[in-house]
Amino acid sequence: MVQAIVGANWGDEGKGKVTDVLAERSDVVVRFQGGANAGHTIINEYGKFALHLLPSGVFHQRVVNIIGPGVALNVEALLKELAALEERGVPQPQLLISDRCQVMLPWHVDFDRLEEERLGKHSYGSTKSGIAPFYSDKAAKVGVQVCELYDEAFLRERLALALPRKDCLLTSLYGQEPTDLDGLVEYLLKLGERIRPMVADTTRFLHQALKEGKTVLLEGQLGTLRDPDHGIYPYTTSSSPLAGYGTVGAGVPPTAISDIYCVTKAYSSAVGAGPFVVRLEGAEAEDLRRRGGDAGEYGATTGRPRDVGWFDAVATRYGAMVQGATEMVLTNLDVLGYLDEIPVCVAYETAEGERITDFPATPVLMKCKPVYERLPGWKCDIRGIKDWEKLPENCRKYVEWIEQTVGVPIRLVSNGPKRDEIITRNV
């Protein structure tokens, strides 16, 4: 059985926590796209962690964690994360890296930074971790797969072919020094040796695991609205965060996915550039930002303050639809306990004054304004509550309103950042 855990919105929905929770009853957790550019926050018996590349199953010793072929593998960042877990007393996790996964090269990170600097105020708000240049190179067939790190002649020949184009850009557009081919080859071979024991044919492993009746979780990074095809292009990421892509980026048959858990927050948050219709400003924003997440809404990777807003039904319904959500997980519900009334965005108003409820493409979206309704608040702290029936009535009504508006059952409600702060519903 394969279950996907993916984001309905702009990312940071709390997928890491949900994966950590569901991993308890799973056998394999796979990261299938993205790289070290986003962070999944997890708080459990070992402490608080922001995982960037490691799958969120690493805290469960019986779980096999896989970096799938669709991931942008920054080897140094991965090894750093592993070392940090060890330092903090987490037993060594089981980890496999796909031999077809591609490796982040130093020039990817350089190009990302240099391009954002060149674009200046028109930049896309990249985390500068090399993701866009990495996936561009993959599409252009000049990327380097992990398996190539064990064949020096093959690796050297391919890099030598790619180099003139890279150096042309580096020197003439960005005014940098050209690349030292020998140094690059030597560096990559060393990286290969450091991960050699973890490298495997993970696709074969996954197919075998499924044959044996194991449960596999696919862990998405970011959310629908950052998908390069279906998201807010060009304010998107460079790999698809959709459950549908999970089958490609991990290497499992599309028909194997039985559940798509689409995670959304009880309010909205977004980091990076681009239109965000429900963006709040001033004291109202500061209040929500300070109370949000486990320690305020600040990026787990970059520390950047996230933009915040009220729940956006237009964006979330679209996000869940594109993901093909079979169930929703609503997180951060506890954060809203301070409000007398909770605004929710039920429609957008376009520049022409038309009221729309279908999420539009970017040029229209840029000019949309939110249309709000207000739902009654519950004015108390709901952390610590374990049963659905024990939640205040207005709180349950808020969840039910979102469920009806999005049109997908909400099976899990998260009422705090810790692993055990989660309520299961029988819907």
Q: Which residues bind ligand GDP (CB under 6 A)?
A: 7, 11-17, 38-41, 43, 293-294, 300, 331-332, 334-335, 414-417
Alpha-carbon Rg for the chain in angstroms: 22
Report in angstroms how near the CB of residue 222 gets to ligand GDP at its nearest: 8
Say how far residue 110 (Cα) sits from the centre of its chain.
22
Report in angstroms how near the CB of residue 220 gets to ligand GDP at its nearest: 8
Which residue type, as a one-letter code, is found at position 5? I
User: Residue 55: is the preceding peptide bond cis (ω within 30°)?
Assistant: no
Choose the catalytic residue: 12, 110, 137, 307: 12
- SS3 of 311-370: EEHHHHHHHHHHHCCCEEEEECHHHHHHCCEEEEEEEEECCCCCEECCCCCHHHHCCCEE
Report in angstroms how near the CB of residue 219 gets to ligand GDP at its nearest: 9
Q: How far apart are CA 266 and CA 402, in angstroms?
A: 9
Report in angstroms how near the CB of residue 37 gets to ligand GDP at its nearest: 11
Under a CB-based contact definition with an 8 Å cutoff, are residues 234 and 266 in contact? no
Helices (H) and strands (E) in the chain, counts: 12, 20
328: buried, middle or exposed (CB in 10 Å: 19+, 13-18, 0-12)? buried
CA-nearest of 11, 22, 33 to 319 is 11
The continuous run of DSSP H or E covering 50 comes out as: strand 47-51
**Residue among 143 and 274 whose Cβ is closer to ligand GDP:** 274
Note if 12 is an active site residue: yes
**Residue among 257 and 271 whose Cβ is closer to ligand GDP:** 271
Tokens of 337: 């306990």
State the greatest distance between any 2 C-alpha atoms of the chain, in Å, as a whole number.
Answer: 67
**Residue among 166 and 289 whose Cβ is closer to ligand GDP:** 289
Choose the catalytic residue: 20, 27, 40, 137: 40
Under a CB-based contact definition with an 8 Å cutoff, are residues 285 and 310 in contact? no
Q: How far apart are CA 416 and CA 107, in angstroms?
A: 40
Report in angstroms how near the CB of residue 401 gets to ligand GDP at its nearest: 18
* Long-range CB contacts (within 8 A, 24+) of 153-158: 155/185, 155/188, 155/189, 156/181, 156/185
**Residue among 137 and 227 whose Cβ is closer to ligand GDP:** 227
Report in angstroms how near the CB of residue 56 gets to ligand GDP at its nearest: 7
Say how far residue 247 (Cα) sits from the centre of its chain.
16
CA distances to 134, 232, 313, 318, 347 from 275, in Å = 25, 8, 16, 16, 15
Tokens of 271: 């980091």
**Residue among 164 and 384 whose Cβ is closer to ligand GDP:** 384
**Residue among 112 and 421 whose Cβ is closer to ligand GDP:** 421
**Residue among 41 and 316 whose Cβ is closer to ligand GDP:** 41
Report in angstroms how near the CB of residue 193 gets to ligand GDP at its nearest: 31
Note if 60 is an active site residue: no
Report in angstroms how near the CB of residue 291 gets to ligand GDP at its nearest: 8
**Residue among 232 and 263 whose Cβ is closer to ligand GDP:** 263
Which residues carry out catalysis?
12, 40
